[in-house]
Structure 1
Amino acid sequence: MAVLTNDQVDAALPDLTGWERSDGALRRSIEFPTFLQGVDAVGRVAELAEQRDHHPDIDIRWRTVTFALVTHSAGGITEQDLQMAKAIDQLLDR
């Protein structure tokens, strides 16, 4: 899978909710009302990741969860990361 250029990633960002390009990855941080709601969201994203066999890096800091997407095997952000970001958006923004 081909790594996208910065211009290609930047062009896709307006279609993604809250994502940014940072340190070579797509990142989105979400603050949840409670810690348990954040952990529940992580569980739902984990199930999605297993179904798609594409797993984000996940960081939980009290009520804030950060998802980071990069295709490590390709060495950068790919179309697969953009599609996973869209799927996470759909899952969490319902």
Structure 2
Amino acid sequence: MRRRLSDQELRQALSELSQWHTQLIDEAQSLTRSYPFKNFMAALTFANRIGELAESANHHPQLNVQWGRLDIFWWSHDVGGISTSDVDLARASDALFNTL
């Protein structure tokens, strides 16, 4: 069972995830990051890779695909905020981006 991160755990995670910040989604904190791309198709291709990651983890983010940008929001509905799974998947998202 997932659990929501404490404020101290969240501060620590954010110090390690320098490109990420928190944002309220449906009254719960989420981890969010915008990834830049050269065009819409590159952003969409990356969104599909994130979709594969999400399916393998059975944990699904909100994705906003735009021309030249993909915004990702990770949070756990069952705990009403950010869990260790969200932090792990934010790291995995960055790792995927770094392979491009």
Same topology, TM > 0.5: yes
Q: How does 1:58-69 map to 2 (within 5 A)?
A: 58-69=63-74
Contact kept in structure 2, 1:35 and 1:63, CA below 8 Å: yes
RMSD: 1.1
Gaps of 5+ in 2: none
Q: Which residue of 1 aligns with 2:95?
A: 90
Instruction: Write out the 4+ residue segments of structure 1 that deviate beyond 6 Å after TM superposition.
Output: none
What is the CA–CA distance in structure 2 between the aligned matches of 1:6 and 1:27, rounded to whole Å?
Answer: 17
Contact kept in structure 1, 2:43 and 2:66, CA below 8 Å: no
What is the CA–CA distance in structure 2 between the aligned matches of 1:37 and 1:72, rounded to whole Å?
Answer: 29
Q: Alpha-carbon deviations, 1:7-36, whole Å to 9, x = none? A: 211211122251111211000011201111
Q: Which residue of 1 aligns with 2:17?
A: 16
What is the CA–CA distance in structure 2 between the aligned matches of 1:12 and 1:82, rounded to whole Å?
Answer: 7
Q: Which residue of 1 aligns with 2:76?
A: 71
Gaps of 5+ in 1: none
**Percent of aligned pairs with the same residue?**
30
**Structure 1 length normalisation: TM-score?**
0.92
Contact kept in structure 2, 1:9 and 1:21, CA below 8 Å: no
What is the CA–CA distance in structure 2 between the aligned matches of 1:13 and 1:83, rounded to whole Å?
Answer: 12
What is the CA–CA distance in structure 2 between the aligned matches of 1:28 and 1:8, rounded to whole Å?
Answer: 18
Q: Which residue of 2 aligns with 1:54?
A: 59
Which amino acid letter does the alignment assign opposite residue 40 of structure 1?
T
How far apart are residue 70 of structure 1 and its match? Answer: 0.5
Q: State how many pairs are aligned.
A: 94
Instruction: Report the secondary structure of 1:75's partner residue.
Output: coil
What is the CA–CA distance in structure 2 between the aligned matches of 1:34 and 1:17, rounded to whole Å?
Answer: 24
